[in-house]
Structure 1
Amino acid sequence: MSKKKNTPMMEQYLSIKKSHQDAILFYRMGDFYEMFLEDAQKAASILEISLTSRNKNDTDPIPMCGVPFRAADNYIAKLIENGCKVAVCEQMEDASATKGLVKREVVRVITPGMILTEELLDKKSNNFLLALSKTRDVCGIAYLDISTGTFKTTQVESRQSKIPEQLIDEALKVDPKEILLPSNFKTDPVYKHIRQAFYGRQITYLDKTDFSLEEAKERLLDKFKTRSLEGFGAENLHASICAAGAILSYVQNTQMQDTKHIFQIIPYDLKNFLVIDDRSCKNLEILTNIQTLNKKGTLIHVLDRTVTAMGSRLIKNWVRYPLIDKNKIQQRLDCIEELTRAAHIHQLIINHLKSVYDLERLGGKISMGQGNARDLIALKNSLKKLPILFKELSLFQSPLLNGKNFEERETILSELNALAALIEKAIRDDATHVLNEGGLINDGYSPELDELLLISRDGKSWIAKAEATEKEKTKLSSLKIKYNRVFGYFIEVSKAQAVSVPDHYIRKQTLVNAERYITDEMKQVESTILNAQDKRNAMEYKIFCTIRDKIVSKATLILKTADFIATVDVLQGLALVASENSYTKPFINEKNLICIEDGRHPVVEKLIKGERYVPNSIEIDDIENQTLLITGPNMAGKSTVLRQVALTILMAQMGSFVPAQKASVCIVDRIFTRVGALDNLSSGQSTFMVEMEETANIINNATNNSLVILDEIGRGTSTYDGMSIAWAVAEYLHDLNNKGVKTLFATHYHELIKLEQIKPRIKNFNIAVKEFNDNIVFLRRLVQGGTNKSYGIQVAKLAGVPDIVINNAKQILSGIEKKNETDALKQPPKETKTKGKKKNKKDDDQLDLFGNNEQSIKKMLEKIDISSITPLEAINLLNDLKQKASN
């Protein structure tokens, strides 16, 4: 039996699909995007739309589904969210003017890292596509946000075959939506850790030739129209060039058009920024709340008071990349100080910024040929605000605010003003987002267009007058002149009056209740009207494209201006936060001293209700108070103190005022944290393994200029193991390179307070607690000196553990403490005796308080962490102890 022959349309579809096997093909057919075969089955399931079939009566019908092209963005968004790529295939010819099959081509491929549509983007976050490469002993990454043109790269030396953890951590910090890797990374076991690190993200594997140094460099030179990459500072960054070249290859293959808004690549060195690894970022809840996984309850939620989308994206970058250059930090601090002293001007700046649209993404969208008339109007309105905004900013001294650092400012402003004037003159304010139906261009902009508009309007006016004239001449009261796409203009008369129509009326159609006619004169006018309308629509679109091209030629200027405005917005936002929350300007010292007077946690102080936030002062140096060993019960506030010190340093180095009465801080190169831990089930890691990995990272990478935050290290294992590890880590950090590292170390292992007597730069502190009638009150105050009490039972009582459990726990604790003192307890607590049971010789010989199961009970007790045990676990554990004691 011969194979069934496909229709020409299906042959065309299959031919196009062959080049886009990894994408769902949106095949344009009139007002719909259709999908066929496997694409249809997959898309229908994800989009929850009906799956039908083409040629239903055939023995082997073709599965198909479709979505309206006007609503396509919503459907594409859902497919992208579900890990799909979408190839958009458009009709390249007018179907009405073409005989046979319409020519179709894929005009762009939409992937998680290649999104331009506003509805698919988070306006407050960059949408990065990231590539990772390796050359001999160097590894590099490059990343691009095609919606804004931001293109950056860095590289790290590698002495092993693996990609270094530092580079993976940097990639996670970038938070890409899609990752490009060489094809050999897909199966090579050496790169398994790469695949694990990006688990859950879209990974696209490219041919190794896309990462070839020679070809990658050639792509970059061709893109930027330069003879070398020296001007960007990237000439000798070979690993970076490979990664960046792979990105450009991917952009060219998916977008199929020029990208003029990508006008530079920005190399950067990780050594120029305060490093906060991905785990520490999560531990400190800088961008994401650990519990809710959203923005609320995070540092960025407090600090982001920007009013533009550009500013909101930039402040995230400042938070993730704090500076280590004192002069640059000071510049930002001085700006904020100026703004806080000029409240009136500050408010005017905020009001002006609110009228500025997202210039970065507008510039990107227009440059990629996807900007409509409304985008041009938004651009015009934004550009018209610039002279007013710059006039207010000129009153400030700081070059970051007054624009003196903004290269060629006057020239750029002049050209952008001319651009705004062009748009205002040409584009109608009420223009629709549809580009091929007219209504785009203002009257008076083009004489030729005005002539067509006049013909069109006069023709329609003639039609209106003709109806009245014909009614008068024929005396037919039911006569109406109507229009539809099939017949054009026609005269409609009721059946009853049809017998009275003039002889020159030509019957066109018979309906149930009416007859339709045309006349030669009407057809001539109709031809003039419709031809003028079609010509008008085509001319308006052509004029619009010409204006859009002029905007594209100024894309670089628009993006430079956007960068400046974003910086102003971040600075004004930080000034607003400082004013509203009584932050202070930190002094950046060179004495390796961290001195914070009445410091506060920027997030916690905003969240607590029903009590006053208690500030704490802290001083860390490299002479006497280098390691602060902090003890005290749970819920007292140890973790809050630790975190607030780390966040204060971060804020100071990003150039922000800080939540304190006074602060003098030194510059640190890294902030390490070991604060809490959750099981990493996806990689099979326990709490203790995560804890030890974080600890190992600190030990292996901390320098004398780092800040280390350790909270409850070692609690994920047995008491003695945990205490030993905590002790050893504290000693190691104190002795690091014979200089030590600034460390805040909170612990429940009270034995560690003896370190103060052994190590000269370790000092004991505790969070003060007031005892009253066997109850405790948390004073939240950090005071000097250690404590040997955990108050675990009192905390359990506050948490609502029943009295029967609390009382039993007190008896057990009393016995344990007494045994530790005398090592010779003979009688068990009353509550743990077994009534009615006769003693035997074995009972008389016992040396522990629970009878003949001494060793097993002792081991059970050693494993108890009173500070973390839940009420239900406590009840079950006490029941087990009681049963063992009764045996």
Structure 2
Amino acid sequence: MFFDDAKIASRILDIALTARQNDVPMCGIPYHAAESYIARLIKAGKRVAVCEQLESVPSAGSSIVKRDVVRVITPGTVIESNLLGSDDNNFLCSIYITKKEMGMAFVDVSTGDFFYLTADKNMEIFRGEIAKYSPKEAIIYAQSYETDTIFTEFIKSRNIPVHTLNEWHYEKEYMTEMICQTLSTHNLAGLGIESDIEIITAGSILQYLRDTHKTVFGHLKNPMKLASRDTMMLDEATISNLEIVENQQDGTRNRTLFSVLNNTKTPMGRRTLERNLLQPLVLRSKIDERLDLVDFFYQRAELAEEITIHLKEILDMERILSRFTIGKIQPRNFIAMKQSISASMKIKKIIHDCTIDNSMLTPLYEEFSDLSSLGETINTVIDDDPALSPEHGRVIKPGYLPELDKLYELKSDAKQWILKFQEDEKVRLGINTLRVKYNKILGYYIEISKGQSERAPKEYFRKQTLVGAERYTTEELQKFESDILGAADKITDIERREIEKLRLQIIEKSREIQMTASSVGYLDFICSLSISAILNRFVKPVINDNNYISIKNGRHPVVEKYYTKEVFIPNDILLDDSGNIINIITGPNMSGKSTYIRMCAILQLMAQTGSFLPVESADLSIADRIFTRIGASDNISRGESTFLVEMNETANILNNATDRSLCMGSCRVYSPLYKSENTFCHTLS
């Protein structure tokens, strides 16, 4: 690395900064340890261009070996396990803002997830979507970056690296072509992408992926439109105040609603749980359907346990598939895919057996693709314990290719041939110190000490003279070397050919693998909710259409689970559109007012996620939005005082709440003698 790149990298990586001619700053890292250094640069929000040599010798008429950038690694486009670091989604976000509208797209290239939305130019919606998806990198139209500073400043306040794109990335015709080519379609209407802003937002993020990875992605799922009528939109304040997936102390999953409900066994299940907690359902039919599915496994704990045993055997099928598609694979990825397919097919059979007596599971069963033949093919081709690569050892299973087996046999016999040749020469020449050795420069050679070198026969050809020894070869040894090295090259070529053939077979089944992975994730999510209900004594809620919330002996799930020094005292909640439209709660500090209103909001969210509740009984109507205005704190990074934060959150409620919204808030009352905090629970009508 040179110039400013060298200065930045040396500081981040804590490596020496040197200089070349004319005081050009320079630094470097060992090639064999590049991944660990790249990971640190990515964590710091930097983009890393990887340049490789593309030919072993210079092209005709050139004295320079051709090199080029083969990939640009960025925080939002990584697929390597050591760079991802967790099972969480790793979203890249694309933002396009006009005078009245805004478009956003989110892609996780490591899993294939692809979401997009268009909405009125609204800061609260923008903040809510960023909080929900927590992108690791954002790309934005350069002009919007300069003019719509309120949006870009918010992104930067969350320490999200931002990269601007020029105007040509936002040409509608070119973006249309980009989407069609990437997603193998001829009509965007079939994908639901219709408006100009949707085309531009979705197309620009695909173009950026092609620019960085230098390839077209065939594993991306069809884009799903967000902000639909099926799910609830949560704003940033609600996600934070309710500590749904991150706590407010250190930003981790500890002591959150997610941690209470997380009994998932697969990475897909964990991502599905998080996604559904942040997108509660708003259609009664969908909520009841999910509650019934959870209840099915709740009533059949042994069945849920049997399924979870097989779920534990399933690895991250979505991310493994992405490596096959991009070509960044290792032989162990085949074993991981084979193991995951085998376990998922066992689960498919279990679900099929259940559908004989109960049709409730039929839709779920039908989402499991039949991947049995693909699993059997991988098992036939790939060795059960493959080497890291064909260069390191055997990858293709013995017995699959007779030609390959013969070459391996020749290679394995080589050691015995060398030992026999060495002993025969010792006896024939009477030189006990004679040795047959090998190195990458000379190949195979015979080494005789200086004192014995006069006894070397005329058929020995000298290869190298050392201070204390002479090194020779013979026609017989040269022929052996040619055969052995030729066999090694042939083995590598054959194994690489078979690996590539199998990789392409897996890519052909990309959609089926994605469907199965999604089904595994959803089933894992459902089983997790049922296990949580069993472990925590949760009860199935009743959903009504009457704008009526009645909870008997409700408990805060997080407080009850993690704060065990004292017994949590259950509380009742009654809200309706007649005499109980608003509840006002007063009391001294630390008396539990905020805990109470958080409990009410969390129970509502859990019910609309499809979870059972920590209650004696619950009868709830459906909220189209949940708003919270709890606690008081400033936000210095955005230049917002405590008062401004409170007013912004209150304004958001007043501007966006409807007659079906559940609103929770607290406000401070000041007087010359005391300060206290009052809270309210409110359903609007």
1:585 aligned to 2:540? Answer: yes
Structure 1 pair 156/400, CA: closer, same or farther in 2 (3 Å)?
Answer: farther
CA distance in 2, matches of 1:61, 1:687: 50
1:313 aligned to 2:271? Answer: yes
Specify the alignment match of 1:619 in structure 2: 574
CA distance in 1, matches of 2:23, 2:595: 65
Shifted more, 257-266 versus 569-578: the winner is 257-266
Q: Which has the higher contact order (CA 8 A, sep 6+)?
A: 2
CA distance in 1, matches of 2:234, 2:205: 26
Structure 1 pair 651/685, CA: closer, same or farther in 2 (3 Å)?
Answer: same
Specify the alignment match of 1:28 in structure 2: none
Amino acid at match of 1:509: Q
Q: CA deviation at 1:164?
A: 4.4
8 Å contact kept, 2:107–2:114: yes
1:73 aligned to 2:35? Answer: yes
Equivalent position SS for 2:75? coil
Q: 2:52 aligns with which of 90, 114, 133?
A: 90
CA distance in 2, matches of 1:101, 1:431: 37
Specify the alignment match of 2:232 in structure 1: 274
Equivalent position SS for 1:530? helix
Q: 1:344 aligns with which of 277, 282, 302?
A: 302
CA distance in 2, matches of 1:408, 1:46: 46
1:326 aligned to 2:284? Answer: yes
Structure 1 pair 718/255, CA: closer, same or farther in 2 (3 Å)?
Answer: farther
Specify the alignment match of 1:876 in structure 2: none
CA distance in 1, matches of 2:366, 2:301: 27
CA distance in 2, matches of 1:97, 1:553: 36
The TM-score normalised by the length of structure 2 is 0.94
1:477 aligned to 2:419? Answer: no
Structure 1 pair 636/491, CA: closer, same or farther in 2 (3 Å)?
Answer: same
- Which structure has the larger Rg? 1
Matching of residues 27-42 of structure 1 within 5 Å: 35-42=1-8
Q: CA deviation at 1:401?
A: 7.5
Specify the alignment match of 1:632 in structure 2: 587
8 Å contact kept, 1:380–1:423: yes
8 Å contact kept, 1:490–1:518: yes
1:504 aligned to 2:459? Answer: yes
1:519 aligned to 2:481? Answer: no
Residues 188-244 of structure 1, C-alpha deviations (whole Å, 9 max, x = no match): 2x443433344321111111231222222221122223221222222x233222100
Count of equivalent residues: 682
Shifted more, 347-356 versus 551-560: the winner is 551-560
CA distance in 2, matches of 1:368, 1:454: 34
Residues 236-267 of structure 1, C-alpha deviations (whole Å, 9 max, x = no match): 23322210011011111111112110141112
Matching of residues 366-381 of structure 1 within 5 Å: 366-381=324-339
Identical residues among aligned pairs (%): 38
Residues 713-752 of structure 1, C-alpha deviations (whole Å, 9 max, x = no match): 144x6679999x98xx98xx98xxxxx618xxxxxxxxxx
Structure 1 unaligned spans of 5+: 1-34, 735-739, 743-887
CA distance in 2, matches of 1:697, 1:186: 24
1:246 aligned to 2:210? Answer: no
Residues 626-673 of structure 1, C-alpha deviations (whole Å, 9 max, x = no match): 111111222221111111110000000000111111111110011111
8 Å contact kept, 1:449–1:536: yes
CA distance in 1, matches of 2:612, 2:260: 13
Specify the alignment match of 1:741 in structure 2: 684
Specify the alignment match of 1:228 in structure 2: 187
Residues 14-57 of structure 1, C-alpha deviations (whole Å, 9 max, x = no match): xxxxxxxxxxxxxxxxxxxxx33432332222112233455xxx
Q: CA deviation at 1:497?
A: 2.7
8 Å contact kept, 1:305–1:577: yes
CA RMSD of aligned residues (A): 2.6
Shifted more, 111-120 versus 166-175: the winner is 166-175
1:655 aligned to 2:610? Answer: yes
CA distance in 1, matches of 2:304, 2:366: 23
Q: 1:138 aligns with which of 79, 87, 101?
A: 101
Structure 1 pair 67/427, CA: closer, same or farther in 2 (3 Å)?
Answer: farther
Matching of residues 745-764 of structure 1 within 5 Å: none
Residues 857-884 of structure 1, C-alpha deviations (whole Å, 9 max, x = no match): xxxxxxxxxxxxxxxxxxxxxxxxxxxx
8 Å contact kept, 2:263–2:531: yes
8 Å contact kept, 1:127–1:145: yes
8 Å contact kept, 2:153–2:638: no
CA distance in 1, matches of 2:261, 2:481: 63
1:292 aligned to 2:247? Answer: no
1:672 aligned to 2:627? Answer: yes
8 Å contact kept, 2:127–2:236: no
1:202 aligned to 2:158? Answer: no
The TM-score normalised by the length of structure 1 is 0.73
1:535 aligned to 2:501? Answer: no
CA distance in 2, matches of 1:451, 1:401: 54
Shifted more, 440-449 versus 657-666: the winner is 440-449
1:165 aligned to 2:146? Answer: no
Q: CA deviation at 1:88?
A: 1.2
8 Å contact kept, 1:492–1:515: yes
Specify the alignment match of 2:402 in structure 1: 447
Structure 1 pair 477/417, CA: closer, same or farther in 2 (3 Å)?
Answer: same
Specify the alignment match of 1:697 in structure 2: 652
Q: CA deviation at 1:471?
A: 1.4
CA distance in 1, matches of 2:360, 2:481: 60
Specify the alignment match of 2:92 in structure 1: 129
8 Å contact kept, 2:460–2:472: yes
Structure 2 unaligned spans of 5+: none
Structure 1 pair 347/44, CA: closer, same or farther in 2 (3 Å)?
Answer: same
Q: CA deviation at 1:380?
A: 0.7
